[in-house]
Structure 1
Amino acid sequence: MVKFKQITAALLFSAMGLYSCINSNGSKTAPVVADEEVLSEEEAAIAKNNYINYCGGCHGRELQTFINRNWQHGSSRENLFEGIKHGYPNQGMPAFASTLSDKEIIQLVTYIRQGIKNQENNGAGQEQNSGKVYQSDELSFRLDTVVTGLNIVWGMAFLPNGDMLLTEKSGKLYRFTQNKQLQQIEGAPEVLDQGQGGMLDVELHPAFAQNNVIYLSYSAVKRDGGTTLSTTAVMRARLEGNALKDQKVIFEGQPWERTRHHYGSRLEFGPDGFLYVTMGDRGGTKTNPQNLGVSAGKVHRIKEDGSIPADNPFVNQRDALPSIFTYGNRNPQGMALNPDTKEIWINEHGPKGGDEINIIQKGHNYGWAIVTHGIDYNGSIISDLKQKEGVTDPVKIWTPSIAPSGTAFVTGNRYKGWQGDALVGSLSFRFLSRVKVDGNKVTGEERLLQDIGRVRDVKMSPDGYIYISVEKVGVLRLVPVN
C-alpha cells in the first residue's frame, strides 16, 4: 500500500515535471528534475489562496514556521504531497484529500517550496526594528532589542533583581542577566520538542523573593515500549544560582497521548493564591474537552505544592478530576490576571476561525467542541451551534483566526491611554493586538506592529515596560517616545 502511494505521488509529480525515481525496493532517490515547477500567474494565485485559507493559521501566512525547519517527515516534494493529502493526525495535521484535488496539492507544494526559498534568500526572521518609531492611537513608541540568539522564546518571567527567565521551546531554561549575559540554567525537565510541544511557560511563586521557587510547564515525555507518549506537566523547583534544585512534578495531565499538539499551556497565580494551569485538548476534539474524567481541554487550579483546593468545583463529583476549574476549552495559550477586576482572562486557539477570549469562572463550560465560531482546517463542519444554554460565551471572537498566544494587561503610567487594556500576541498574522478593555467587556481592538513576526509571549516587567518575544527574532521592549 505504501509503495502504491509512493508510485501514485511520483506519477502525479511527473505529470507536472516533479518526479522521483522509485528503486526496486520501494525507496526513493532524489528528484531527477533539479528546478522547481514554475506556476503560472493564475496557478500561483490559487495556490496562495489555498495556503492562506488552509495552512496560514498554523504555519504563518508568510510561511514563517517553515524557515530553518526540522522536517520530521522529510521536505521533498513527495513528502509534502503525502503530508498534505493524507495528514498526520497525531501531530494535528489534518488530511486535505477531500478538500483539495491532487493538482491543487501539487501547486500548493510548489508554492510552499518556492516561498521557503525566497524567504531564506531574503533573510526571513531577521527583521530590523532598532530606531523605528511606531504610532498607536494614543502614543508613539520604539522597539529596543533586548535578547537575540534564541529561536522560540515561549515564556518569560522577571526576577526581583531585574534578571529575566526565558524558556526556549527546544527544552532549555535561560537566565538573561542585567549585564546582558545569556546563561543556561541546569536541571530543567526533559521535554518532547515535537510539534507544538517543548518547554512552555515559566511562573514565579508569589513569595519568590523569600523562597526562590519557580514553576515550569512543558510537554513531558514517556516511552512505553516502541511508543512515545506525552502530556502537559508542571514542575516546581527552587532556583539556586543557575541550577534548579528540589524539582517536583506537581501536575501531570491524564491520559498520556500519542499526539503532539494542543498542550496549552500557561501558568498564572490567581488572587486566591492558587496556581492556574491551562491545558489544550491534545487533539481529542470530540472526546476530551467535555469529559470531566480527563485533564485535556481544561483550566486546572491547584495549590502551590500541587495539592487540590477544597473548594474546586468538581472536587466531590464522582468520575471528575478534582483539579478541574473550567472545561470545554480548546487550546489556551494566553492567560493573565486582570488587575482591575481580579479575574483571570485566557485566550484560546479556535479551529479555522473562532479564536476566543474568555473570562474563566468556577465550574463553567466554554463549549468546545459542541459550540464553536469556526470550522475545521479542511473546511468540514465541527458544530452548527455558536451558542448553547449552559455554555459561557466568549468576550471576544476572532474570525479569521489570528492564532493568539501570550497575553498581559497594561499597568502603570508609562503607556498613556493603554492602561487596563490587554495585549495579545498573534502567531498567524504577526502582530501585537491591543484589546481595549472596560471592566469585563472588550470595547475595541488596535493592531500594532503589523508583520513584526510571530509574537509568542507578552509580559509587563516590574519597572513598567512591555516586553514581547518574537519567534526567530528575540525579545523586544516597547519604549514610549515623547
Structure 2
Amino acid sequence: MKRTLCALAVLGLTATLPAQPALNKDVAKIYAEICANCHGAQLEGGSAPSMLDDQWSSGNGDDASIARIIYDGSLEKGMPAFHSLMSEGDVRAMVIFIREQRANHQRSRQAKTVPTGTITTTEHPYRIETVATGLSTPWSIAFLPGDRVLVTEKTGRLRVIEGGRLLPQAIKGTPAVRDDGQGGLLEVAVHPDYATNGWIYLAYSDPAKNAAGKEVSLTMLVRGRIKAGAWVDEEKIWQAPIEFYHPGGGVHYGCRIAFDGQGYLYFSHGERGRGPEAQEIRRPNGKIHRIHDDGRIPADNPFVNTPGAFPTIWTYGNRNPQGLDFDPRTGILWETEHGPRGGDELNIVRRGANYGWNTITFGMNYDGSPITAETAREGMEQPVTYWVPSIAVCGIDFYEGTLFPKWTGNLFVSSLAQQELRRLVIDGDKVVSQEVILKGIGRLRDVQCAPDGSIYVAVNDPGAIIRLVPAN
C-alpha cells in the first residue's frame, strides 16, 4: 500500500523557516490528536495508508523524505501541511515515534526462541551452541589462557566457565557493588600481558556514603588477580573524589575498558542521568577517560593542564557509552553510546573531542517530549552512524578470528532493546554496510571474539552465554 504521512517534519529544517510554536508535548499525544484519525491509532492505517509497511509514495522513507512530506504536505494526495503546528523539536520527536512504532510492530511478530540448526547470513552460515545458563544478568565476557572464560553478573559475582562448564562457585572476595538499576558489577577485562603479570580489571558501581551520610555511588576501576578461586592483590586503578558521587537514580554508569597495547587503558563513564554534566570537563561523568594501566595519569592527556579540569578525561559530551574497542587494522578507537529515546551512536573516539550530549542529539526524552531540535553544532562531533529507533547498543568487538574468514575485521555490535547482534563492515572511518545476523532471543549485553575464533554473546532474560560457530 502506498503511503503519505499525516503530520510533522523532521530535522534538517533551515533557519529561513517561519517561527514555530514550542509545544514540547508528549509525542504520542500529538500523534493521537493529529494523526491517528487518518493513519490509525497504531499506525495501521485508516482513511490514510498504514505506516507499518515499507512502501512510500514520496521519497525513499528516510528521515528527510518523511520530513518533507509532513512539513509541506501533498494536496494531490490529500495530505495537509503541518509546518505551522509544531516546533522543530516536536517534529524530530514525531519521526522517532514513527520509527519506534514500526520497530515494535516488527518485533511483536517474532518469536523469542534460540534458533536451532543452520542460520544463514550474507557471508557465513553458523549455528548456536549454549555455553552456560542460569546466570543473573551476565554483563561482560573476557578470556583467560587455556579454556577459561570470565563472566560478570550485574548482581556482583565474577563467574568462571572452564572446559565448557560454568563452575558452581563464584570467585570469592570481589568488591562490593551497588546493584541498583543499571549499577552493579559491570566490565571485566584482561591485561594484554596477562600471561606474565596476571592482572584482571573490574569496573563496577562503587557504593559509598557522602559527608552527609547519604548513600551515593559512581563507577570505579580496580585490578587484581585470581588465585585458588579468590580475588587477591587488589589495587585501585581509578576512583573519583566522593564529591562527584551521585545519590540514587541508578543509571548510566558505563563502563567498558579497552587497552591500546602501548600501556594505556581507556574506559567509558556514563553521565549518571545528568545530561548537562557531560559538558563539564571538571566532572568525570559523561566522558571517555585515559590512564596508564596502573592508574597513573598520562602527562599528555588533553585537559591535564587545564585548571579545574578532571585530568583523566580524553573525550566529553558522552551519554552512556557501553561499547569500546580498537580496530586492530587501523588503531582507531570506536565507541557505542546509548542515546535517550532514539539516537544511539557509533563514534570514533578522538582526543579532546566533544560528542555533544545533551546539546545535540538524534533522540528525544523518554516521556516523548523533545530534548532539542539540534542534531549538529560546530565544535561537536557527529556520529559515524546512529540508530533511530534506539537498538540500545551495548558491547562491541572487532572480529580477529579465522573461523569466519569473511568476517575478519568486521565490528560486531550487541543490542538490548532490539535484541540484535549486528555485523558492521568498517572501511577506515566509515561504516560500509550493516547486517543483523541474530535477533529475538533476548537482550544481548556483550559480544566477544574467543581465541578459537568462535563468537561469544552474553544474553539477558534469560541469563546465558552462547557462542556462534561455523555451521560445518
Which of the five TM-score ranges fits, normalised by the shorter chain? 0.7 to 0.9
Please name the residue that 2:325 is paired with: 336
Please name the residue that 2:79 is paired with: none
Please name the residue that 2:142 is paired with: 157
Tell me the alpha carbon deviations over residues 396-429 of structure 1, each in whole angstroms, 9 at most, x when there is no partner: 1101100000111112321132221111111001
Please name the residue that 2:267 is paired with: 277
Please name the residue that 1:134 is paired with: 119
Aligned length: 364
Q: Which amino acid aligns with 1:275?
A: L
Per the TM alignment, residue 378 of structure 1 is displaced from its structure 2 partner at its CA by: 1.0
Please name the residue that 1:410 is paired with: 399
Per the TM alignment, residue 128 of structure 1 is displaced from its structure 2 partner at its CA by: 4.2
Tell me the alpha carbon deviations over residues 266-319 of structure 1, each in whole angstroms, 9 at most, x when there is no partner: 011113321111000001112x11100110000001111111011111111101
**Equivalent-residue separation in structure 1 for 2:232 and 2:426 (angstroms):** 40
Tell me the alpha carbon deviations over residues 48-73 of structure 1, each in whole angstroms, 9 at most, x when there is no partner: 99xxxxxxxxxxxxxxxxxxxxxxxx
**Equivalent-residue separation in structure 2 for 1:179 and 1:357 (angstroms):** 33
Please name the residue that 1:205 is paired with: 191
Q: Which amino acid aligns with 1:197?
A: G
TM-score normalized with structure 2 length: 0.74
**Equivalent-residue separation in structure 2 for 1:328 and 1:179 (angstroms):** 41
> 1:337-416 alignment to 2 at 5 Å?
337-416=326-405
Q: Which amino acid aligns with 1:231?
A: L
What is the CA RMSD across the aligned residues, in angstroms?
Answer: 2.1
Per the TM alignment, residue 343 of structure 1 is displaced from its structure 2 partner at its CA by: 1.2
C-alpha contact (below 8 Å) 1:138/1:416 kept by paired residues: no
Q: Which amino acid aligns with 2:175?
A: P
Please name the residue that 1:469 is paired with: 458
Please name the residue that 1:307 is paired with: 296
C-alpha contact (below 8 Å) 1:212/1:240 kept by paired residues: no
> 1:97-112 alignment to 2 at 5 Å?
none
Please name the residue that 2:89 is paired with: none
**Equivalent-residue separation in structure 1 for 2:455 and 2:180 (angstroms):** 30
Tell me the alpha carbon deviations over residues 11-60 of structure 1, each in whole angstroms, 9 at most, x when there is no partner: xxxxxxxxxxxxxxxxxxxxxxxxxxxxxxx9xx96999xxxxxxxxxxx
**Equivalent-residue separation in structure 2 for 1:296 and 1:270 (angstroms):** 22
Decide whether aligned partners of structure 1 residues 331 and 181 sit closer, same or farther in structure 2, where only a CA change above 3 A counts.
closer
Question: After the TM superposition, which of the residue ranges 180-189 and 302-311 deviates more from structure 2?
Answer: 180-189
Unaligned runs of 5+ in 1: 1-41, 50-98, 100-123
**Equivalent-residue separation in structure 2 for 1:342 and 1:272 (angstroms):** 11
Are positions 1:222 and 2:222 aligned together?
no
Moved over 4 A (4+): 45-49
Decide whether aligned partners of structure 1 residues 226 and 48 sit closer, same or farther in structure 2, where only a CA change above 3 A counts.
farther
**Equivalent-residue separation in structure 2 for 1:439 and 1:418 (angstroms):** 15
Please name the residue that 2:102 is paired with: none
**Equivalent-residue separation in structure 2 for 1:429 and 1:128 (angstroms):** 15
Please name the residue that 1:424 is paired with: 413
Indicate the percent of aligned positions where both proteins have the same amino acid. 43
Tell me the alpha carbon deviations over residues 154-177 of structure 1, each in whole angstroms, 9 at most, x when there is no partner: 011100122011100000001111
Decide whether aligned partners of structure 1 residues 307 and 470 sit closer, same or farther in structure 2, where only a CA change above 3 A counts.
same
Please name the residue that 1:265 is paired with: 255
Q: Secondary structure at the match of 1:424?
A: strand
2:443 to 435, 445, 454: 454
